[in-house]
């Protein structure tokens, strides 16, 4: 399954459990290989296998680990591979990607087919313990497809789970979700812990079978009984989001904590977001930073990005733009789109680094090409304003459209403005209204005021104009409050409403509202005529540079001296 397949968290891509353990599998020894090993190594391995599976003894992963370590120390390839699997997944052990990768490499170099899979898939494909190298991973995975297929057909549960992964990604075989479900189910029916979890993922994701959160929860619980760190993380997500179970932040926190303490980086990030957001626990930015940093130190890109966010915002740590830049850079180099966008913002504003619009554009571009809507808006803005690139309205329109089609309200407003103004495309008010409408219905105040302007000045539909101004005004948009006040005065002649909205805008320092209040008091519109009050409001507006207010103030003061 894909790296993101185990994440069932719906809101914040940075916060999801991205599949650190997808298809990380345990190994069965082959008699033909074991026979080639020295007798002590073989005996150690068999004892480890007995405890791992609970065959001939009560299942005990700690004992299994101890015996596998003895066998691996004497060169037993299968023991090294199963240990790699345990350290990758966190099966009753703390996750250690570096150690897992070295053990997988050791097994692979001795010709162990499962060691080869772990070395290629978890190592070079997922970047666990080594830098990603997808081309190298593909070459290695393609080479072992025949052997993995044969073993799967013979009933080997680990080969079955591997083969499911190959069908999911289309590695050496044509992508086939029905085959994914078939082989994963076969492996799960034999009690293989990771396959149990993968069935949960299948039901949660809804690609390889009909989506069913209740079934997903059941399978995650089955896997969690094996002290499976990834399954703990999955359960945390289910409880946090109320998927297949009543939403329960306390229960989510419990499962994230268990996974995090076993070294699961994604759970550590999710735990950090719980502390940062005060969900299921008292808000604690320092504790959030601690968990983000723990994940970041494991080279987890989401952890690195979140740690950068905390340093940039000075939450839980002293504000430090240079430190934020460092962590954004590390995550961005791992193709983390949120970090790439954040890095672009740092360069655009000169935070922690010399201001460099070209470098900002470069990072916005990387994130935008990955489909990051906010980065697409940033990139479109750079093209629109000619910052770091030549002004190019058509390019700006293109990127705004990409983000707008993802329901990004800011992009929809920008797209509406470009059609209204005829920049990057022929002027088209109907198209402008269409995009403003989309953003306005999402509650975007700028879109609401723009619709109000169009209805008031072009369509002359004052009822609609008032409706949209009102929505923006109620969000505290001072320009909408002024415009609403004007319509109430000029159209509805409701000076009480006019005064109310001018006062709300004036409280925000809106200069037009200050002037308009002066005008109302000077002329007795909706209030008793009062030159002293008028002078007071005119003076406030004049101090902000309002020329008409300056003229009115001079006129009134001149009248008072005559």
pLDDT per position as a tens digit, 319-330: 999 999 999 999
Q: Which long-range contacts (CB under 8 A, 24 or more apart) does 245-254 make?
A: 245/213, 245/217, 248/280, 249/274, 249/279, 249/280, 249/281, 250/280, 251/280, 252/279, 252/280, 253/279, 253/280, 253/281
Q: Are 435 and 446 in contact (CB under 8 A)?
A: no
CA distance linking residue 410 with residue 446, whole number of Å: 9
Kindly list the distances between the CA atom of residue 357 and the CA atoms of 309, 367, 381, 389, in Å, as whole numbers in the listed order. 21, 15, 12, 8
DSSP 209: S
Q: Look-up: residue for tokens 């987890």?
A: 300
If one counts every other C-beta atom within 10 angstroms of the C-beta of residue 553, the result is: 23
- What does the pLDDT read at residue 6? 36
- What does the pLDDT read at residue 561? 76
Q: Which of 363, 342, 345, 365 is nearest to 355 (CA)?
A: 345
Task: For residue range 212-227, list pLDDT tens digits in order.
Answer: 999 999 999 999 999 9
If one counts every other C-beta atom within 10 angstroms of the C-beta of residue 403, the result is: 26
CA distance linking residue 513 with residue 518, whole number of Å: 9
**Would you say the C-alpha torsion 140, 141, 146, 148 has a positive or negative sign?**
positive
Q: In Å, how far from its chain's centre is CA 148?
A: 34
The partner residues of 91 in beta bridges, in order of sequence, read: 228
- What does the pLDDT read at residue 558? 84
Q: In Å, how far from its chain's centre is CA 146?
A: 37
CA distance linking residue 370 with residue 364, whole number of Å: 10
Largest CA distance in the chain: 117
For residue 309, how many C-alpha atoms fall within 13 Å in the half-sphere facing its CB? 22
Each of the 562 residues of the chain gets a pLDDT tens digit; together they read 433 333 334 344 333 433 434 433 333 344 344 444 447 999 999 999 999 999 899 999 999 999 999 999 999 999 999 999 999 999 999 999 999 999 999 999 999 999 999 999 999 999 999 999 999 999 999 999 999 999 999 999 989 998 999 999 998 899 999 999 999 999 999 999 999 999 999 999 999 999 999 999 999 999 999 999 999 999 999 999 999 999 999 999 999 999 999 999 999 999 999 999 999 999 999 999 999 999 999 999 999 999 999 999 999 999 999 999 999 999 999 999 999 999 999 999 999 999 999 999 999 999 999 999 999 999 999 999 999 999 999 999 999 999 999 999 999 999 999 999 999 999 999 999 999 999 999 999 999 999 999 999 988 899 999 999 999 999 999 999 999 999 999 998 999 999 999 999 999 999 999 999 999 999 999 999 999 999 999 999 999 999 999 999 999 988 877 6
- What does the pLDDT read at residue 172? 85
- What does the pLDDT read at residue 557? 84
Kindly list the distances between the CA atom of residue 87 and the CA atoms of 82, 164, 376, 409, 473, in Å, as whole numbers in the listed order. 9, 21, 39, 44, 56
Residue 131: partners with Cβ closer than 8 Å, 6 or more residues away: none
Q: In order of start, what are the domains of the chain with their CATH numbers?
A: 40-132 (1.25.40.10), 450-560 (1.25.40.10)
């Amino acid at each position: 399954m894909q790296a993101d397949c185990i994440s069932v968290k719906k809101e914040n891509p940075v916060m999801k459990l991205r599949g650190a353990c997808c298809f990380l599998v345990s190994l069965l020894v082959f008699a033909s290989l074991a026979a080639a090993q020295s007798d002590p190594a073989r005996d150690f391995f068999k004892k480890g296998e007995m405890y791992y599976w609970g065959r001939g003894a009560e299942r005990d992963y700690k004992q299994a680990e101890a015996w596998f370590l003895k066998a691996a120390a004497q060169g037993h390839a299968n023991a090294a591979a199963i240990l790699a699997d345990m350290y990758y997944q966190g099966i009753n052990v703390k996750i250690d990607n570096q150690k897992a990768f070295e053990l997988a490499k050791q097994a692979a170099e001795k010709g162990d087919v499962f060691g080869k899979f772990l070395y290629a898939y978890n190592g070079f494909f997922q970047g666990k313990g080594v830098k990603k190298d997808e081309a190298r991973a593909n070459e290695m995975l393609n080479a072992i497809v025949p052997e993995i297929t044969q073993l799967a057909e013979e009933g080997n549960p680990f080969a079955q789970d591997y083969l499911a992964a190959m069908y999911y990604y289309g590695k050496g075989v044509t992508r086939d979700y029905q085959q994914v479900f078939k082989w994963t189910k076969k492996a799960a029916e034999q009690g293989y812990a990771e396959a149990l979890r993968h069935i949960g993922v299948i039901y949660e994701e809804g690609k390889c079978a009909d989506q069913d959160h209740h079934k997903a929860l059941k399978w995650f619980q089955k896997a969690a009984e094996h002290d499976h760190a990834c399954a703990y993380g999955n359960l945390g997500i289910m409880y946090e989001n109320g998927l297949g179970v009543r939403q329960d932040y306390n229960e989510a926190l419990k499962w994230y904590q268990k996974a995090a303490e076993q070294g699961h980086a994604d759970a550590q990030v999710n735990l950090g977001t719980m502390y940062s957001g005060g969900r299921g626990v008292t808000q604690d930015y320092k504790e959030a930073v601690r968990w983000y940093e723990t994940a970041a130190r494991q080279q987890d890109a989401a952890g690195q990005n979140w740690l950068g966010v905390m340093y940039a915002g000075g939450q839980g740590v002293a504000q430090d733009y240079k430190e934020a830049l460092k962590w954004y850079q590390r995550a961005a180099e791992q193709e983390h789109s949120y970090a790439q966008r954040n890095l672009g913002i740092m360069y655009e504003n000169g935070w922690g680094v010399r201001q460099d619009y070209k470098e900002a554009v470069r990072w916005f571009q990387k994130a935008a090409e990955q489909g990051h809507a906010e980065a697409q808006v940033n990139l479109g803005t750079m093209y629109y304003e000619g910052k770091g690139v030549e002004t190019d309205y058509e390019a700006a329109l293109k990127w705004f459209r990409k983000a707008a089609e993802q329901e990004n309200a800011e992009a929809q407003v920008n797209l509406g403005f470009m059609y209204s103004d005829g920049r990057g495309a022929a002027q088209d008010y109907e198209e402008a209204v269409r995009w403003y409408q989309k953003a306005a219905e999402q509650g975007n105040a700028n879109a609401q005021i723009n619709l109000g302007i169009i209805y008031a000045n072009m369509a002359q539909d004052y009822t609609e104009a008032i409706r949209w101004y009102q929505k923006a005004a109620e969000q505290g948009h001072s320009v909408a409050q002024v415009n609403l006040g004007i319509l109430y005065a000029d159209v509805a002649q409701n000076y009480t409403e006019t005064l109310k909205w001018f006062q709300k805008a004036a409280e925000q320092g809106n200069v037009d509202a200050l002037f308009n209040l002066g005008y109302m008091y000077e002329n007795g519109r909706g209030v008793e005529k009062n030159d002293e009050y008028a002078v007071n409001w005119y003076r406030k507006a004049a101090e902000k540079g309002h020329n008409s207010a300056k003229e009115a103030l001079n006129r009134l003061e001149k009248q008072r001296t005559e």
